[in-house]
Amino acid sequence: MSTSASHPLAGRLLLNNLALAVADLPRVIDWYQRVLGFVVEERGHFEPVAADFAMLVGAGVRLELVASRRAILREVDRTPPPRHLQVLGWKALVLQCDDLAALGEHLRAEGVELLWEAQPLNESRSSTLLRDPEGNLINIFGPRR
């Protein structure tokens, strides 16, 4: 049995970014900047897949938004919680915030689709769950008040 410290890739692999395929790249870039405070770090086009991309940074992560020019698009699975856990795959971008009440005010002012707000998870943590403009889940943890 191998431990992570003895694995040949231990310390060699690092997270570069999370990639999210989107239909409307300018609209989604604007939303992540305006609503969550992300900043565009880099933009480009990757010809082998005929896709434009934008690399955004914020909340301690790099988020790559990718839009294919040739794609036949399929909508994101919008199965609502708790049944969303019955669909395999990545569930949500999970962030954290020190003030979910202030975050909720900001999100409501921006017209963001909230699935729940400041929902208690345990004695010390709460969760606000929302969707980006293309239906992807974003879960934001914060302290329970």
21 lies in a domain?
Answer: yes
Q: What is the pTM of this model?
A: 0.90
Asked whether the predicted pLDDT for residue 136 surpasses 60, the reply is yes
- The reported pLDDT for the residue numbered 6 is 86
Asked whether the predicted pLDDT for residue 137 surpasses 80, the reply is yes
Range(s) of the domain holding residue 85: 77-145
* pLDDT digits 0-9 by tens, 32-71: 999 999 999 999 999 998 999 999 999 999 999 999 987 7
CB 145 within 8 Å of CB 118: yes
The first and second tokens of residue 12, run together, are 């060699």
Q: What is each CA distance from 97 to 3, 15, 19, in whole angstroms?
A: 33, 21, 22
1 lies in a domain?
Answer: no
SS3 assignment, position 16: coil
Cα 144 from Cα 121, distance rounded (Å): 8
Given pLDDT bands bounded at 50, 70 and 90, which one contains residue 2? low
For residues 91 and 131, membership in a common domain is answered with yes
- For residue 51, the domain's CATH number is 3.10.180.10
Total domains present in the chain: 2
141 lies in a domain?
Answer: yes
For residues 122 and 140, membership in a common domain is answered with yes
CA 123 from chain centre, in angstroms, equals: 25
For residues 87 and 59, membership in a common domain is answered with no
10 lies in a domain?
Answer: no
